[in-house]
Structure formats: structure tokens, C-alpha cells
Amino acid sequence: MRRPLDAATVQAVSDAWMKHLVLVFPDQRITDQEHVAFTRHFGDPEIFHQTSLHLRSERAREIFLVSNVDDQNRVMRPSEPSQKQLSSSRMWHTDSSYRPTPSVGSLLHGIEISRTGGITQFINMYMVYDELPESLKRQVEGRKARHDFSMLSRLVGSPPPTEAEKAAMPPVWHPLVRRHPVTHAKSLYVSSIYNDAVEGLEDGPARRLIEELSAFAEQPKYMYRHEWEPHDVLMWDNRCTVHAVTPHDPNERRVMHRTTIVGREPVMAA
Ligand SMILES: [Fe+2]
């Protein structure tokens, strides 16, 4: 990753990414700057809009901190606001789906990894859509769900976004079944942590539908579970996968740096 990549290599990575959905690059002892530079081959890195919980790195603003260690090198308690918010990543979601043009993909660099849990699990949502029972398929075809960043704080009890953060990221509606802009395949597009409404349903039934879809999706046959080694870099497609991390001992340090690739277009209905 240290030398700039030539166009043929970028294309080869991109092709493998579209085919496999999640790529693993082992033993990448990279700096944040190298991480950001690699990301730029595939699009612009997002700048996380929420600054109140210090989840955005102050040294490299393109880096989102998936970490339980603070600036003073202290392990934070699970009750601290940033940790409460990060705990939502134990539920199935896809990064930045609350944006009008949601993220293309994410790249996560495991700097200090967990040995007691912290396994990142991914689901292939193409396969989930293809095998969805008819009763569920009927409920998602042609329908939209709302994605709201504020839903996070209501779910896990972290501090709500400030008025400015809310104004920067109002709720958006996306199709529950989407078509991938590169592969053109259909996939189910749901998020347990951001979906707070479904077109034409009351709150209770909307929530139950999202949970039912997530429960169907989380079958081992659709899943890849990544057990981290130090300096693995994972690169996943947010348009056709969801992910969730398993819990770990909160006294164990876990430091990961993420870049998130800005989406270029609205979600295409299938
Ligand atoms: Fe995530």
C-alpha cells in the first residue's frame, strides 16, 4: 500500500471487491495517511458529520475512530457516551445509510484487536434477497424505509445529536430493495440501527418488519465472520452487505481506524 497503485492494480482490487463483497488485506502496517491515500483510489473519504462525541480523529479528519481508548491512552468505560454509541455496531447495519447518497464502502484497519470477541460479521444481502420467503418479499418490493442518524441515540441511550448535527443529517428514505450500480444485482437494504420507519406501516409493525428481515438475514450460510489479526485491513461494500461486531471484554483495548467512501449517487430502486 506504500507506493501509489497503478490503474491495473486498482481495477483488479475493484473487480475482486465487486465479486467477493468483503476483501481482507493481512499485515498492513500503514499510517492513517496511507490508509486515506489507498481509500482515495476508490472514491472520496467521508468526513464524519458528528463532532460532539470525538469519534472523528483530530489528526486525520477522514478517519473514524472505532476505539475504546481515549487521547490519554485510557480504556473508556462502556457507559461513556462514545462507547454507548459505538455499541450500536453490534446490531446489523451498513455504514452511513442515513445519508442522501449512502456510502459505497468502508475500510477498517485493526491496530489493536480483540482476542475475547470483536469479531466482525458480514452478511451477503444479494443472497438474502434472492432467498427471501415470499411473505417477506411482498412486504419489501417497491417500498421504502426511512434511515435516521438520530435513531442511534434512541436505541442505545447515547447523547442525541446536537441541533446542528441533526440539521446536517435529516432523515432520508431509501428503497428496501436496491440495485447495485456496478453489478446491477438486487439486494435487500435494511438497517437495524438507522431504520425508524417503513412506508405505509405504523411504528410497531415497521420495527417488527426490520427485525424480522434482519433475523432472516443472519443465517450462517449468508455470513462471513472475520477474526482479526493485528493490522488486517478489511474493505467491504456497504451497498450489498450489512455487518455487526460481536461483544468483547470491555477492559480489553480495541483500536481500529475506519475510512468510509462517499456515495456518488442516490440508492437505485430495483
Ligand atoms: Fe459499521
* Stated pTM of the model: 0.96
- Decide if pLDDT at 3 tops 80: no
Integer Cα distance of 5 and 169 in angstroms:
34
Residue 107, strand partner residues: 235, 259
User: Cα of 84 to ligand 1 centre, how many Å?
Assistant: 14
- Where b means 16+ CB within 10 Å and e means fewer, 10-48 reads eeebeeebeeebbbebeebebebeebbbbbebbbebbeb
User: Cα of 97 to ligand 1 centre, how many Å?
Assistant: 10
DSSP letters of 171-229? -EEEESEEE-TTT--EEE---TTTEEEETT--HHHHHHHHHHHHHHH--GGGEEEE---
- The residue type found at 162 is T
Q: How far is CA 135 from CA 101, 143, 209, in A?
A: 29, 14, 11
The per-residue pLDDT for 233 is 98
User: Per residue in 168-179, pLDDT tens?
Assistant: 999 999 999 999
Integer Cα distance of 8 and 63 in angstroms:
27
User: Cα of 262 to ligand 1 centre, how many Å?
Assistant: 14
User: Cα of 162 to ligand 1 centre, how many Å?
Assistant: 21
Integer Cα distance of 23 and 2 in angstroms:
18
User: Cα of 89 to ligand 1 centre, how many Å?
Assistant: 6
User: Cα of 120 to ligand 1 centre, how many Å?
Assistant: 9
User: Cα of 77 to ligand 1 centre, how many Å?
Assistant: 20
Q: Is 158 left (phi over 0), alpha (psi -120 to 50) or beta?
A: beta
DSSP 8-state code for residue 116? S
Which residues sit with Cβ closer than 5 angstroms to ligand 1, an ion? 89, 95
- Decide if pLDDT at 149 tops 90: yes
* Max CA distance (Å), the chain: 53
The per-residue pLDDT for 4 is 78
Integer Cα distance of 62 and 267 in angstroms:
23
User: Per residue in 11-35, pLDDT tens?
Assistant: 999 999 999 999 999 999 999 999 9
Identify the band that residue 99 occupies on the pLDDT scale cut at 50, 70 and 90: very high
User: Cα of 155 to ligand 1 centre, how many Å?
Assistant: 15
User: Cα of 90 to ligand 1 centre, how many Å?
Assistant: 9
The per-residue pLDDT for 2 is 62
The answer to whether the beta carbons of residues 65 and 38 sit under 8 Å apart is: no
The per-residue pLDDT for 71 is 85
Percent of the chain whose predicted confidence (pLDDT) is above 70: 99
Name the residue among 105, 94, 126 with its Cα closest to residue 195.
Answer: 94
- Where b means 16+ CB within 10 Å and e means fewer, 209-246 reads bbebbbeebbeeebebebebeebbbbbbbbbbbbbbbe
User: Cα of 242 to ligand 1 centre, how many Å?
Assistant: 8
- Decide if pLDDT at 1 tops 60: no
User: Cα of 2 to ligand 1 centre, how many Å?
Assistant: 26
The per-residue pLDDT for 142 is 96
User: Cα of 259 to ligand 1 centre, how many Å?
Assistant: 11
